Structures are given as structure tokens and as C-alpha cells.
Amino acid sequence: SSGINAEYGVERQAKSPKLIHIYNTIVNLMGREEGCVETVRASEQEVRDILEGRMQEELTTELSVSIYDTARNDTAKKRREELERKRKDDEARREEMELDYLAPFLARIGDPSQMTADLAQQLRDDCLKDLKDRLVDMANLIQGRFEKETQQLQWKQNWYQQNQTTMTKEEEEQYVSYCSEAMFKIHILEERLNRHKELAPQKYVALEAKLMGDARLAEYLS
């Protein structure tokens, strides 16, 4: 649209810039921006809005489905899948909390019929260590995925810089689609990592308090 062109065309008579050049300008700016999650989300939405308007103008009638059709494209599908995975993760955590958290650790030491101070302390330490290890493993897993997605996006951007002059329109559209999806995945992983870092200490403290109040251990840990 003319409004969008006005944002990027300096000269009135200048030729409208290619969609792919507009996209990469925005991607580079977003890559340098350091802000909160809300700022990242707003920037990504702005990119999608601009690209959708430009793509609708330039796509031929042969393309029956735009890559920015949010009801049908792969990005929307992946968003729904991510939300579904999050829902299942939340349910699994709730179920885990309802289970006897001491059961596997009691089984390791033969389900003793009598508790002692040493056994109570061992159970407490083992239980807390197990939680800490799982929290660290999850953080490392999310961090690893985040770094992998970021590296792949950077590689793709470098590849584009080297090949942009010989790319076809279809290749440009595929590049735009890939980068949009990659930014969404990076954003989701960043949110998950930040959330995990926020909740991990709270989970540790909550379990420690629960162990101290457990009827089987309280007498020996007080």
C-alpha cells in the first residue's frame, strides 16, 4: 500500500523496494533490539503486518493460499501445537505434585519401616537434588534449542546475503516464510526459558518446605 511504501521510499519517484529488502531491514533491526518480552512480541507482529500487506500486493493469482494466512499456514499450526504442548506439560506437573514425591526415594533404600534422623536427612537431600538436577536439565535443554534456532536463523540470513542477487521470487518468499517461522520459535523458546528461570527457585523452595512439613520427616528434620 502507499502508506507502507512511504515508510521506506525516500524519493517520490524511486522504485519501490523489494519485499525481501524490507523484510531484512526489519529483521536486522529486531536482531539488535534488546527489550522485554512484550517489546519482542510487538515487533514480531509489526513484521507480520507489513509483510502481509506487501505480499498480498505482489503474489500472483496462481498462489491460492498466502503464506501469511494465519488460519492455514505452518506458523499458525506450530503455534497451536506449542500451546497444546504447554497445556500437557502443565497437566503433567499437576499430576506429579499429586503423587507421593518420597515414594521413589523410599524405594531406593528398601522402604524402611522405621525412620531415623539420618534417613530423613538423606531423603530430604536426595529429593531436593533430584529436583535441582531436573530443573538444570530442563534449562539446558531449552537453552540448547534456543541457541540452535538462533544459529540456524543467522546462517540463513548470511546465506541470503550471499545469494540475494540471483534468487527467484519463489526463493525469496520461501526465505521470508522461513525467517518468520524461525523468529516465532525463538520467541517461544525465549519465553519458556525466562519462565523456567523464574519458577525454578520457587519450585525448589516449595519442595523444601513440603519436605520439612511431611509427617514422615518433620520429627527428624526440625
Structure confidence by residue, pLDDT tens digits, 117-166 = 999 999 999 999 999 999 999 999 999 999 999 999 999 999 999 998 99
pTM for the full predicted model? 0.55
Distance between CA atoms of 195 and 146, rounded to whole angstroms? 14
Distance between CA atoms of 29 and 183, rounded to whole angstroms? 13
Q: Which residue has the higher pLDDT, 78 or 2?
A: 78
- Which cell goes with 212? 520439612
At residue 15, the 3 state secondary structure works out as coil
Q: What is the pLDDT of residues 39-94, one digit of tens each?
A: 555 555 655 565 555 555 544 443 444 444 555 566 667 777 787 787 777 676 55
Q: Which residues contact 120 (CB under 8 A, 6 or more apart)?
A: 216, 217, 219, 220, 221
